[in-house]
Amino acid sequence: MAAGLADAIRLIVQDKGISEDLVRHTIEEFLYAAYKRTFDTVENAVVRFSDDGAEVSLFAQKKIVPDDDLDDPVMEIPLSEALQLNEECEIGDELLIEINPQEFDRSAIQSAKQKAKQTMRDIQKDTLYSEFKEKEGEMIIGYYQRERNGTIFVDLGKTEGIMPKRYQSPREAYRQNDRIKALIFEVVKATHGLQIVLSRTHPEFVKRIFELEVPEVYDKTVEIMKIVREPGYRTKIAVYSHREDVDPVGACVGVKGVRIQAIVRELEGEKIDILKYSPDPREYIRNALSPAEVEQVVVLDEGKRQALAIVPDNQLSVAIGKQGLNVRLANRLVDWNVDVKTPEQFAEMDISAESKRAVSALFGDYDQEQEEITQIRELPGIAPRLVDILEEHGNIYIEDLVALSEEDLQAIEGLSDSDVADLQRIVAENVEIVEDEYDYDEEDDQDDEYYDDDEYEEDDEADATDQDEQDEEDDEESEEIQHISELPGVPEHVINALVEAGIDDIVELIDVITTRAEELEDIEGISADDIKQLNEIIADAVEIIDEDEES
């Protein structure tokens, strides 16, 4: 039966992408359907293929019964007819009697044909679904076919994919048979068939392009930590190298920008910012705002992940970007709420000096000289109007303001109750040390009333002796932390690496951290985690020294 069946099966396998076993199963279903349509049962139907698959046969399995005991001609055969087919058969045996499908009536053939087509479509759908479902998130290349209601239909070879309008870059336009490289975003079984959704706007699409163009990204030497996009306009990518001798940004850019240029061309000129990932949120935020130059990053609330980036006046527009695009992408990249200010705007903000020191002095970004202020107009957060009123009444220095009581302030013309409250708050936040010294002097004056000259001189000598001993102890403590090796908590391998690099003194180390931080990254044997730990240790030490000097 069916001469050339093997060739037909091979042709279906090639055209439909269906396995040979599934094609044979479809042929079996076709014959069973035709048999059932003719005989109303398939219980005794048997389909067999030849060893080479070139032929297929349909049989009816019937039981041999006596000639006068035939009840069901479909399931049974009389002994006289069975002997004509096989002389050795006996009553009770079963015979396979070949059925010629060409003898089936037209309705049986048509019904079987419809069932076979449906089975073939289901098999093809399941096969394609399994094939493309495994490729979700991977890159695929197709060809533009047509567009309907903004949706592009892409020829993928075996089937067709769609790219809805929302997954198309606004920069891109296509013509007939244009080559399209896209990400397989989603594969679903729909009522009308298999639906393969493609995307060129998903961040994962950019990651796949980098894997194609940058070998270090493909082999995981350089890891893409996060990608954020405004499709068609700008993309920001944070990268991290698992090897100290591989620059993650340089690897992605390539020699003379060859690699990044190829990626930009694929994205139709979309701007791409590649930046180095850092576990330190300050450094990460600083990098995320590229190409803007950031002077300082102030963490306002670490729990709420709020920070402030201070940039020069000429970099403010660059940091914010067109319609706020750059800072918006930076916020999404670092997952912090970052605001951008100029130094002048920052100085006008209502942030206490203690907060500024706490968030900035850790890494030397805060100028220590700003703490040594003497005039009222240098106090952070004080309005110029209040400064002018105080100076008109002869109050120029901070000590003059501290000496004024609440009644004295209320008596000054031009100061309202809210102004007095603001001045008291500013003093409380920024000149706590000055207040302590003033109270101490006041107590000394009171003590003088209870001592005569002789007792005071003796006490003065005792105090001088105690002060000398305290100074000696302070000198000893200062000498004890002159070298990096004497700092508590510094790992031995970090000390050895710094000494080999010629950095042995704490002051020199602080200078390197604050002005030449990149030199630490170049020192062999010191990792990013070591630098972070070193910064924390230095931060603690600096705070302790500041407290000793102020007291």
The domain spanning residue 39 has which CATH number?
3.30.1480.10
Domain that residue 397 falls in: 377-415
- For residues 239 and 62, which has the higher predicted lDDT (pLDDT)? 239
Q: Of 115, 150, 181, which residue constitutes the final position of a domain? A: 115
Q: What is the mean pLDDT of residues 82-109?
A: 81
Q: Checking DSSP bridges between strand 56-65 and strand 45-49, what pairing results, if any?
A: antiparallel
Residue 288 sits in the same domain as residue 360 = yes
Exposure of 175 by Cβ count < 10 A (0-12 exposed, 13-18 middle, 19+ buried)? exposed
What whole-number distance in Å separates Cα of residue 100 and Cα of residue 521? 84
What whole-number distance in Å separates Cα of residue 36 and Cα of residue 99? 13
Residue 94 sits in the same domain as residue 142 = no
Average pLDDT for the chain: 79
Q: Of 115, 143, 167, which residue constitutes the final position of a domain? A: 115
What whole-number distance in Å separates Cα of residue 289 and Cα of residue 286? 6
Q: pLDDT (tens digit, 9 = 90+) per residue, 193-208?
A: 788 999 999 999 999 9
Residue 352 sits in the same domain as residue 384 = no
Exposure of 390 by Cβ count < 10 A (0-12 exposed, 13-18 middle, 19+ buried)? buried
Handedness of CA 91, 92, 93, 99 (dihedral sign): positive
Measure the N-to-C terminal CA separation of the chain; round to a whole number of Å: 107
Q: pLDDT (tens digit, 9 = 90+) per residue, 108-131?
A: 777 777 777 777 777 777 878 888
Q: Of 143, 173, 201, which residue constitutes the final position of a domain? A: 201
What whole-number distance in Å separates Cα of residue 55 and Cα of residue 161? 37
Domain count for the chain: 5
User: How many of the other CB atoms lie within 10 Å of CB of 222?
Assistant: 23
Residue 78 sits in the same domain as residue 14 = yes
- Confirm whether 243 is domain-assigned: no
Q: What is the pLDDT of residue 177?
A: 87
Q: Checking DSSP bridges between strand 337-341 and strand 306-310, what pairing results, if any?
A: parallel
Window from 263-267, 446-450, 455-459 with minimum mean pLDDT: 446-450
- Confirm whether 258 is domain-assigned: no
As a residue count, the chain comes to 551
pLDDT at 189 over 60: yes
- Confirm whether 397 is domain-assigned: yes
- Confirm whether 272 is domain-assigned: no
Residue 8 sits in the same domain as residue 87 = yes
What whole-number distance in Å separates Cα of residue 442 and Cα of residue 438? 6
Q: Which of 339, 338, 329 is nearest to 236 (CA)?
A: 329
Residue 14 sits in the same domain as residue 103 = yes
Q: What is the mean pLDDT of residues 370-390?
A: 77
What whole-number distance in Å separates Cα of residue 245 and Cα of residue 225? 19
- Confirm whether 549 is domain-assigned: no
Helix (H, G, I), strand (E, B) or coil at 485: helix
Q: Which tokens in the block code for residue 478?
A: 């200062």
Q: pLDDT (tens digit, 9 = 90+) per residue, 16-41?
A: 667 777 778 788 888 888 888 888 88
Residue 400 sits in the same domain as residue 497 = no
Residue 312 sits in the same domain as residue 401 = no
Residue 331 sits in the same domain as residue 307 = yes
What whole-number distance in Å separates Cα of residue 305 and Cα of residue 303? 5
- Confirm whether 211 is domain-assigned: no
Exposure of 398 by Cβ count < 10 A (0-12 exposed, 13-18 middle, 19+ buried)? buried
Residue 160 sits in the same domain as residue 67 = no
Q: How far is CA 246 from each of CA 50, 206, 226, 249, rounded to the nearest angstrom? A: 62, 21, 19, 9
Secondary structure element (H or E) that encloses residue 211, with its range: helix 203-213
Q: pLDDT (tens digit, 9 = 90+) per residue, 255-275?
A: 999 999 999 999 999 999 999
| Chain position carrying tokens 């037909």 | 8
Please calculate the CA angle 424-426-432 and round it to the nearest 5 degrees.
90
- Confirm whether 468 is domain-assigned: no
Q: pLDDT (tens digit, 9 = 90+) per residue, 476-491?
A: 444 456 677 777 777 8
- Confirm whether 245 is domain-assigned: no
pLDDT at 365 over 90: no
- Banded model confidence at residue 355, pLDDT cuts 50, 70, 90: low
Q: What is the pLDDT of residue 206?
A: 95
Residue 382 sits in the same domain as residue 359 = no
- For residues 29 and 462, which has the higher predicted lDDT (pLDDT)? 29
